[in-house]
Amino acid sequence: MRKQSKIRWQIVPSLAVLLMLSAAGWAQGMGAEPPAMTNPPANMRPPGLAHVAIEQHLDEQIPPDLEFRDETGKTVRLGEFFGKRPLLLSMVYYTCPMLCGEVLQGMTGAMKVMTLNAGKDYDVLTVSFDPNDTPADATKKKADFVHRYGRPGAAEGWHFLTGSQASIDKLTKTAGFDYQYDQQTKQYAHGTAIMILTPQGKISQYYYGVEYPPK
């Protein structure tokens, strides 16, 4: 079994539990805090990622007034996605040649084996941190992964966003998500994680991506 598959199956039970707890108002003090998780050591990260990291900002409020564009090109505020259900937040870029696809595949695989349904029990925000990505790029990526997920209603609950550098900077800083552009390769070096947000848009947990060490 590939390492990614092991990681996927490791996170599924606790991911489902955390989504349900978030829906019940856990981040407002109705229960114990989640277990702390740390970045993989630098020597365990892929080449090029040793100098980027994701710093946990638990209970941090994602700014509701940040504006992005959805896959249709419509301008949306992040706050429009708050107040209903817990959310999964992933930050990728849509022209990424490998790692971002691995993150989205792992997340989609975890979603597929949960009994909870995207668009009904929780929503998903996938946000590009490349300001050059377009709604057309987002549309292609959404069509691909909604098809892979394969459940009714997913298209209404899974949003693929693009935005300006200013909005991207504010979001990534709030979430503790670090990335760097490599002029030589014309690609981004970046950390890999998915985050669980409460319905109110506060960060309640981090799950590090394809390099998360299975226990």
**200 is written with which tokens?**
């109110």
Phi, psi of 104 (to 5 degrees): -65, -35
pLDDT attached to residue 14: 52
Residue 69 banded pLDDT, cuts 50, 70, 90? very high
Phi, psi of 184 (to 5 degrees): -70, -45
DSSP code for 58: T
Torsion sign across C-alpha atoms 170, 172, 175, 176: negative
**Percentage of the residues of the chain whose pLDDT score is greater than 70:** 73
Task: Please say whether the beta carbons of 151 and 115 come within 8 A.
Answer: no
Task: Please say whether the beta carbons of 33 and 204 come within 8 A.
Answer: no
pLDDT attached to residue 150: 96
**26 is written with which tokens?**
């856990």
Identify the CATH number of the domain defined by range 3-28+52-208. 3.40.30.10
**68 is written with which tokens?**
């992005």
**179 is written with which tokens?**
């990335």
- Average pLDDT score over the chain: 81
pLDDT attached to residue 110: 86
pTM exceeds 0.95 for this model: no
Segments making up each domain of the chain, as ranges: 3-28+52-208
Tokens 């209970």 label which residue? 59
- Helix (H), strand (E), coil (C) string for 95-134: CCCCHHHHHHHHHHHHHHHCCCCECCCEEEEEEECCCCCC
pLDDT tens string 145-195: 999 999 999 999 999 999 999 999 999 999 999 999 888 888 898 888 899
